[in-house]
Amino acid sequence: MFNDDLTEYSEKSENLKKKVRKLAKLIKNSKHCVIHTGAGISTSAGIPDFRGPNGVWTCRDQGRKRPRRTCRKSKPTYAHMSISKLIEKGYVKYLVSQNCDGLHVKSGVPLDKISELHGNTNKESCKDCKKDYWRPYRCRNSKKCHDHRTGRLCDECGGELHDTIINYNENLNETQLNRAYQNSEKSDLSIVCGTSLKVTPSSSLPVITVKNETGKLVICNLQKTPKDKYASLRIFSKTDLIFELLMKELDLTPDEYVDPLENENENENKNKNKKNNKKEKEKEKEKSSQTKNKKKTNNKEKTKTKTKTKKKSKTNTKIKK
């Protein structure tokens, strides 16, 4: 049923507001809230999902051209920035994500508050000394599925660097997975955002909350999921819209995303402009000094010619006498 049903549903405006008010109360009363995110949270950033009507796997299965997945120029969405603010304010204790687009980390979520189960496109690691490198670009270079070498070397030990992306039939990072399990077991509220909950083991994590006597599960997704029967609150809506209403209910405002690369570029441009201005000023000084020197030399030459003409006139007068 769930493999074939691609229908996306949308709550009516008033109904959506009521459900978000309930969600806000659940968050306020929660002691250990965990959010679980999937590809649906990044679609408004220009990154296609996998199982939506125009998702990557949907298009593949239907013989259509698959949309390109690029995270290079993508920026965190309103939902990403809202989750970062909720973690900052202590409303959310932990974040578990299936996404490898790096947008949660870019939004400011601390690394000890997130499990990126399928890796991060901006992170590469040394297999020998375990040092991590965070890049402003996509680390993966290999065209072979299970070859994770990036072609770069560790500056500590000289070992080969590998991307951190987890492909099908590959084991998840144990540290990331264990932290996800630990926080899911602690949680009294799990909020699912933008995932169809079909990929294991991530799909089983939010349901752990329900096993706790007072645990609540909230699922926010446009499509139905196999775990809907466990949810005490089910919201059909786009994640950005849900978080816009939620942040108003909690009287919070997410920070605006500032791209550090843009700042670097701006600073570089400013420094270039400063250097250019200095060079121009120096050139102007050189020109002015050159013109001054020319004037001085011209004046000296004039005075010399004057003295010469005077001397000549004197000698001429003497000869006449």
Cα–Cα dist 149/125, whole Å: 10
Burial state string for 263-297 with b = 16 or more CB within 10 A and e = fewer than 16: eeeeeeeeeeeeeeeeeeeeeeeeeeeeeeeeeee
Q: How far from each other are the two terminal CA atoms of the chain, in whole angstroms?
A: 132
CB atoms within 10 A of CB 257: 17
Here the tokens at position 185 are 């077991």
Peptide bond into 76 cis (omega under 30): no
Cα–Cα dist 41/45, whole Å: 8
Do 71 and 138 form a contact (C-beta atoms < 8 A)? yes
Q: Which residues contact 155 (CB under 8 A, 6 or more apart)?
A: none
Cα–Cα dist 14/17, whole Å: 5
Do 56 and 66 form a contact (C-beta atoms < 8 A)? yes
The reply, when asked if residue 129 is annotated as ligand binding, is: yes
Give, for 151, the enclosing helix (H) or strand (E). strand 149-153
Amino acid at 107: S
**Residue (of 75, 78, 110, 106) closest to 95 by Cα position:** 110
The reply, when asked if residue 157 is annotated as ligand binding, is: yes
Q: Which residues contact 308 (CB under 8 A, 6 or more apart)?
A: none
Measured CA distances, 236 to 190, 195, 222, 228, 239 (Å): 16, 12, 5, 11, 9
Q: Is 118 assigned a catalytic role?
A: yes
Catalytic residue among 118, 146, 148, 162: 118
Please report, in range form, the residues annotated as the binding site.
Answer: 126, 129, 154, 157
The set of catalytic residues is 118
Please report, in range form, the residues annotated as the binding site for Zn(2+).
Answer: 126, 129, 154, 157
